[in-house]
């Protein structure tokens, strides 16, 4: 039943055995497509690799064990803006100084799963060989239509709307001032938190600058910026078909992906492979990949997650070109896609810190949790005294 109150309540997901039985039956009944010989990943998901993954998903993957592991995170649900929002809320352990609350916003195709490895690194840095003075209170919400949060029943919500929900959520949790961080869609949400709630956001950290949108005189762009625009256009033409579908006709593909777990896996696995540093085998274990996909399957959220692309496509150009004046940090990981030059980051934001970590890709908090956690510790350290509770 939907929540009727705004007081956070503890949440534990419990999957009915019959849901797992249905999933396994569907996996075993997959009607496989053909594929040219030796095509590998060049036309999309490698069919041989997908067959191996699906076979393991059907007969080897232990979802109850993964569900129990996720349950060790302090998870809650509460009503925000009329929607039930699921989130992790972990408080700093034995802090040695001012505690900065930080809200971490995930992207697509994932959920709170993206940050599941970094929570303890941020709340208890002393236990991981870092300075206890760098402890955070950590909030990791599932966006509406993702994971265990409610799916909007009306118009899908844009990143601007989600930023407004997160501002309300942080106030509900007692945080008047806080830091924001994110990547992918979460980078957009964090950006709008800094733009529309600048009086409450101490600083904002992002792992990308989004795809370039520019309304000024092209002659003012640096050579590096022009090269990046060309790179982004090439990437969109060769790798961006998924985005075009999700911006325009998400319901068409949702009918297939919500019915076929093998199809859902193909749609998500291809992005995990293409966007991670070194490919899927280097970045993730099979269990990690399938935990992410199984969350999508059991919650039935692939369609609602894609609809956020449609909502974002309606954001007006003047919103996309606003400059962020809140102190901004960027960690542009080596293996990420469409990596912006520093000149562009400084043009679009008050970029006080830009780093290029040598390892990690689009899913850096999951691929390289220790490195990502240190990036956040280093960036937010000067802003700890600017946080406060209601």
The pLDDT tens digits for 110-143 are 999 999 999 999 999 999 999 999 999 999 999 9
pLDDT for the residue 386: 54
* Whether the predicted pLDDT of 389 surpasses 80: no
Please answer whether residues 50 and 26 qualify as being in contact, where contact means their C-beta atoms are separated by less than 8 angstroms: no
**DSSP-assigned beta bridge partners for residue 88:** 75, 140
| 100 phi, psi to nearest 5 deg | -100, 120
Rg of the chain in Å (alpha carbons): 20
Q: How many other β-carbons are positioned within 10 Å of the β-carbon of residue 238?
A: 8
Q: 14-62 pLDDT, tens per residue?
A: 999 999 999 999 999 999 999 999 999 999 999 999 999 999 999 999 9
Using CA atoms, how far residue 132 sits from 208, 295, 339, in Å, is: 28, 33, 32
Q: Spell out the SS3 assignment of 336-355.
A: CCCCCCHHHHHHHEEEEEEE
pLDDT for the residue 128: 96
Catalytically active residues are 184, 309, 362
> What is the rounded average pLDDT of the residues 156-180?
98
Q: 290-330 pLDDT, tens per residue?
A: 999 999 999 999 999 999 999 999 999 999 999 999 999 99
Report the C-alpha gap between 28 and 23 in whole angstroms: 9
pLDDT for the residue 388: 47
Of 261, 224, 260, 267, the residue nearest 245 (C-alpha): 267
pLDDT for the residue 274: 97
What pLDDT band is residue 97 in, cutting at 50, 70 and 90? Answer: confident
* Whether the predicted pLDDT of 390 surpasses 50: no
User: How many residues does this entry show for the chain?
Assistant: 390
Least confident of 44-48, 167-171, 382-386: 382-386
Q: 227-260 pLDDT, tens per residue?
A: 999 999 999 999 999 999 999 999 999 999 999 9
pLDDT for the residue 5: 52
Please answer whether residues 361 and 336 qualify as being in contact, where contact means their C-beta atoms are separated by less than 8 angstroms: yes
What does the DSSP 8-state code read for residue 125?
G
Report the C-alpha gap between 273 and 278 in whole angstroms: 8
Report the C-alpha gap between 67 and 17 in whole angstroms: 13
Q: 51-92 pLDDT, tens per residue?
A: 999 999 999 999 999 999 999 999 999 999 999 999 999 999
pLDDT for the residue 3: 45
* Whether the predicted pLDDT of 286 surpasses 50: yes
Provide the CATH number for the domain formed by 44-382 in this structure: 3.40.50.1820
Neighbour-count burial for 146-182, b at 16+ CB within 10 Å, e otherwise: bbbbbbbeeebbbbbbbbbbbbbbbebbebebbbbbb
* Whether the predicted pLDDT of 2 surpasses 80: no
Of 328, 274, 312, the residue nearest 159 (C-alpha): 312
Q: 190-235 pLDDT, tens per residue?
A: 999 999 999 999 999 999 999 999 988 999 999 999 999 999 999 9
Of 207, 214, 205, the residue nearest 232 (C-alpha): 214
pLDDT for the residue 96: 84
What pLDDT band is residue 4 in, cutting at 50, 70 and 90? Answer: very low
pTM of the prediction?
0.96
* Domain chopping of the chain, boundaries: 44-382
Of 199, 190, 97, 96, the residue nearest 140 (C-alpha): 190
């Amino acid at each position: 039943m939907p929540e009727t109150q705004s007081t956070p309540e503890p949440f534990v997901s419990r999957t009915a055995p019959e849901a797992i039985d249905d999933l396994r039956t569907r996996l075993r009944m997959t009607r496989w497509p053909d594929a040219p010989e030796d095509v590998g990943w060049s036309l999309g998901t490698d069919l041989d690799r997908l067959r191996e993954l699906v076979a393991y998903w059907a007969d080897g993957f232990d979802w109850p064990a993964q569900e129990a592991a996720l349950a060790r995170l302090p998870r809650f649900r509460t009503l925000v803006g009329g929607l039930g929002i699921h989130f992790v809320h972990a408080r700093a352990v034995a802090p040695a100084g001012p505690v900065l609350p930080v809200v971490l916003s995930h992207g697509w195709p994932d959920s709170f799963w993206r940050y599941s490895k970094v929570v303890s690194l941020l709340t208890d840095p002393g236990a991981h060989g870092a300075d206890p003075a760098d402890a955070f209170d950590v909030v990791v919400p599932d966006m509406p239509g993702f994971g265990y949060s409610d799916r909007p029943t009306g118009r899908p919500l844009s990143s601007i709307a989600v930023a407004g929900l997160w501002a309300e959520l942080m106030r509900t949790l007692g945080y008047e001032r806080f830091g924001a961080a994110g990547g992918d869609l979460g980078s957009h949400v964090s950006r709008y938190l800094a733009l529309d709630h600048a009086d409450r956001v101490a600083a904002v950290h992002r792992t990308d600058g989004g795809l370039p949108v520019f309304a000024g005189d092209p002659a003012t762009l640096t050579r590096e910026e022009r090269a990046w625009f060309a790179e982004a256009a090439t990437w969109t033409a060769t790798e961006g078909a998924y985005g075009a579908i999700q911006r325009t006709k998400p319901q068409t593909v949702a009918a297939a992906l919500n019915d076929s777990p093998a199809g859902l896996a193909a749609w998500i696995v291809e992005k995990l492979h293409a966007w991670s540093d070194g490919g899927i085998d280097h970045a993730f274990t099979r269990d990690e990949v399938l935990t992410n996909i199984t969350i999508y399957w059991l919650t039935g959220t692939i369609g609602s997650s894609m609809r956020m692309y449609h909502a974002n496509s309606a954001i007006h150009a003047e919103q996309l070109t606003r400059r962020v004046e809140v102190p901004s940090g960027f960690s542009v990981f080596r293996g990420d896609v469409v990596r912006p030059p520093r000149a562009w980051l400084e043009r679009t934001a008050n970029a006080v810190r830009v780093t290029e970590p040598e390892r990690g890709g689009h899913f850096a908090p999951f691929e390289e949790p220790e490195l990502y956690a240190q990036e956040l510790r280093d960036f937010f350290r000067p802003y700890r005294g600017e946080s406060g509770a209601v």
